[in-house]
């Protein structure tokens, strides 16, 4: 279970409680005519974005979010394919992954969707995984949290606090979240459960349509429900996903009925899906020696969907066990047949760094980045190896350009901070360190870093003005966090 989330819920709860207590003061200019996306009287879209950003910053600091460029790239690309087919998309969606074996996913304000590694690992194909993402996208487009608030405007603040605290905690710690909901009176608890089931049915209906329109097999939804039902029967306690997404038998039947209205679709297996599953196992589950045995047996028995994915997992396991020679041999073989595959290039870079063959990695990455100048995997890998070779000027230039487009990327900011530190640029290092703290809502520490940076600015008046302005921005952000 993810224990640190409890601290986030306390802060988030105060935000939501203040917001619900001042419902009448909310600007209604964003009222929407569609039945499925009402609730602007409870919370405006602008405020939804602000709250979503505040929650995301706290999640970065306290939840086990994976800053893995490859998995981030994969899940964001998959999510974007679904969002492109959704209606009522009001803001960019951000998909992120938590390192947790629970089969779970959750959505919250501002288009933020979290996926647990356990969900990806237990999905049997990409359509099953996409069905869950489509479901969560639907929760956002239908504004289910805002509608929950609106449905309870007549409740007392204490009941609202109990309900929202439970909902937020249930995002990442379902058992604790449902317990929090149950502490309210029986009628309130039953009402929240019924409303949740209505939301789930609507998200199923909308999500299956998105899934089909995006080119996936709509049967992925019903088959994934089958996985959940089967696993639930084998456990003494409900699965995490089922605690936040009630799954009565009627819901499975409804999903199968909806799917029947679509033409059957034979969707080819996705190599990237299987590479992502393999990476999760090799990097985040078990230990290197156990994984070497596991993947070696799969390769030997040919019990794989893609041989490349099994070999990739074996290479990652060898690398983790510091057996660089067999790892390199496998990766070079994979790159020979697919030289632009990001999964293979990333591992090749890691091996090159470990074996002091930096220039080979730089050459390969530089050749690829010409065609994809802002790709996160290529940019962050190349910047990392350039820092190792002390080519700080090129590394910082690369990272600064990337951050102009992706300012919230934690790993890019951390790499830039490391580059400035290693090159002795203390003014710039403290400025970037402040941005890192701001990304996790640690505004007092961010302001402290900027005060330190100011001391290094000496008589550079323009730089001093810029730092003072950023300090004021962080103070405003902190005040907004406290008064939302």
The per-residue pLDDT for range 77-106, each reduced to its tens digit, is 999 999 999 888 888 899 999 998 888 888
Which residue numbers are catalytic? 136, 204
Please measure the distance between the N-terminal and C-terminal CA atoms of the chain and give it in whole angstroms: 29
Question: Quick one: pLDDT band at residue 270, thresholds 50, 70, 90?
Answer: very high
Which sequence spans correspond to the domains of the chain? 5-260, 269-355
Q: Angle 151-154-157 (CA atoms, 0-180°, nearest 5)?
A: 105
Alpha-carbon span 96 to 112, nearest angstrom: 8
Question: Which residue shows structure tokens 């039947």?
Answer: 253
Does the annotation place 112 within a ligand binding site? no
- Report the percent of the chain where pLDDT is more than 90: 54
Report the pLDDT value the prediction gives residue 50, as an integer from 0 to 100.
Answer: 82
Give me the residues paired with residue 116 across strands. Answer: 98
- Assess contact for 160 and 181: CB atoms under 8 A: no
* CB-count burial class (<10 Å; 0-12, 13-18, 19+) for 304: middle
Residue 194: how many other CB atoms lie within 10 Å: 11
Report the pLDDT value the prediction gives residue 252, as an integer from 0 to 100.
Answer: 74
Report the pLDDT value the prediction gives residue 207, as an integer from 0 to 100.
Answer: 87
The CATH T-level fold of domain 269-355 is 1.25.40
pLDDT(475) > 70: yes
Q: For the chain, percent helix, then strand, then coil, each to nearest 5?
A: 70, 5, 25
Alpha-carbon span 26 to 44, nearest angstrom: 7
Backbone φ and ψ for 305, nearest 5 degrees, come out as -85, -45
What angle, rounded to 10 degrees, do the helices at 342-354 and 307-320 form?
20
The closest alpha carbon to 40, from 28, 49, 48, belongs to: 28
Most trustworthy range by pLDDT among 12-26, 171-185, 201-215, 236-250: 201-215
Alpha-carbon span 114 to 456, nearest angstrom: 39
Report the pLDDT value the prediction gives residue 106, as an integer from 0 to 100.
Answer: 87
For residue 354, what are its two tokens? 């470990």
The per-residue pLDDT for range 132-147, each reduced to its tens digit, is 999 889 888 877 676 6
The per-residue pLDDT for range 366-382, each reduced to its tens digit, is 999 999 999 999 999 99
Tell me the whole-structure pTM to 2 decimals: 0.82
Alpha-carbon span 382 to 420, nearest angstrom: 16
Top pLDDT among 475 and 189 is at 475
Report the pLDDT value the prediction gives residue 91, as an integer from 0 to 100.
Answer: 83
Report the pLDDT value the prediction gives residue 35, as an integer from 0 to 100.
Answer: 36
The per-residue pLDDT for range 419-449, each reduced to its tens digit, is 999 999 999 999 999 999 999 999 999 999 9
Give me the residues paired with residue 314 across strands. Answer: none
Q: Calculate the average pLDDT of the chain.
A: 81
Does the annotation place 245 within a ligand binding site? no
Report the pLDDT value the prediction gives residue 425, as an integer from 0 to 100.
Answer: 96
Residue 237: how many other CB atoms lie within 10 Å: 9
Residue 359: how many other CB atoms lie within 10 Å: 11
The per-residue pLDDT for range 22-33, each reduced to its tens digit, is 333 333 333 333
- Assess contact for 240 and 174: CB atoms under 8 A: yes
Does the annotation place 200 within a ligand binding site? yes
Alpha-carbon span 109 to 87, nearest angstrom: 16
Question: Quick one: pLDDT band at residue 13, thresholds 50, 70, 90?
Answer: very low
The closest alpha carbon to 402, from 377, 426, 434, belongs to: 377
What's the maximum distance between 2 C-alpha atoms anywhere in the chain?
71
Residue 5: how many other CB atoms lie within 10 Å: 23
For residue 450, what are its two tokens? 């900027």
Alpha-carbon span 442 to 434, nearest angstrom: 9
For residue 136, what are its two tokens? 């969560």
User: Rounded to 10 degrees, what is the CA torsion of 30, 32, 36, 39?
Assistant: 40
Handedness of CA 171, 176, 181, 186 (dihedral sign): positive
């Amino acid at each position: 279970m993810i224990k640190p989330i409890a601290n986030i819920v306390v802060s988030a709860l105060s935000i939501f409680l203040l917001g619900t207590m001042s419902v009448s003061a909310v600007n209604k200019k964003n009222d929407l005519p569609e039945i499925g996306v009402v609730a602007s009287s409870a919370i405006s879209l602008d405020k939804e974005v602000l709250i979503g950003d505040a929650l995301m910053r706290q999640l970065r600091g306290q939840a086990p979010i994976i800053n893995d460029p490859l998995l981030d790239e994969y899940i964001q690309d998959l999510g974007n394919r679904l969002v492109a087919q959704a209606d009522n998309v009001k803001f960019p969606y951000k998909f992120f992954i938590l390192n947790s074996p629970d089969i779970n996913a959750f959505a919250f304000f501002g288009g933020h969707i979290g996926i647990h590694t356990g969900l990806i690992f237990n999905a049997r194909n990409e359509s099953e995984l996409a069905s869950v993402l489509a479901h969560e996208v639907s929760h956002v487009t239908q504004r289910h949290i805002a509608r929950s608030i609106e449905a309870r405007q007549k409740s007392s603040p204490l009941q609202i606090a109990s309900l929202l605290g439970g909902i937020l905690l249930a995002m990442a710690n379902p058992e604790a979240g449902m317990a929090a909901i149950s502490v309210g009176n029986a009628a309130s608890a039953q009402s929240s459960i019924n409303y949740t089931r209505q939301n789930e049915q609507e998200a199923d209906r909308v999500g299956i349509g998105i899934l089909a329109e995006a080119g996936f097999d709509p049967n992925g939804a019903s088959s994934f429900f089958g996985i959940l039902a089967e696993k639930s029967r084998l456990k003494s306690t409900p699965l995490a996903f089922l605690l936040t997404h009630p799954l009565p038998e009627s819901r499975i039947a409804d999903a199968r009925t909806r799917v029947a209205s679509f033409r059957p679709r034979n969707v080819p297996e996705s190599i990237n899906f299987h590479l992502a599953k393999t990476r999760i196992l090799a990097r985040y589950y078990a230990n290197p020696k156990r994984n070497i045995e596991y993947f070696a047996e799969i390769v030997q028995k040919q019990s794989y969907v893609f041989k490349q994915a099994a070999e990739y997992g074996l290479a990652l396991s060898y690398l983790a066990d510091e057996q660089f020679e067999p790892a390199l041999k496998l990766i070079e073989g994979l790159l020979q047949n697919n030289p632009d595959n990001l999964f293979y290039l990333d591992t090749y870079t890691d091996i090159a760094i470990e074996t002091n063959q930096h220039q080979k990695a730089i050459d390969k990455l530089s050749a690829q980045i010409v065609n994809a100048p802002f790709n996160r995997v290529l940019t962050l890998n190349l910047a990392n190896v350039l820092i190792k070779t002390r080519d700080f000027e090129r590394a910082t230039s690369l990272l600064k350009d990337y951050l102009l487009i992706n300012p919230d990327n934690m790993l890019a900011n951390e790499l830039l901070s490391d580059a400035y530190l290693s090159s002795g640029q203390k003014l710039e290092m403290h400025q970037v360190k402040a941005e890192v703290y701001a990304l996790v809502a640690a505004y007092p520490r961010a302001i402290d870093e900027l005060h330190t940076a100011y001391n290094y600015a000496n008589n550079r008046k323009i730089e001093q003005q810029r730092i003072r302005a950023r300090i004021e921005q962080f103070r405003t952000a902190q005040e907004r966090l406290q008064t939302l």
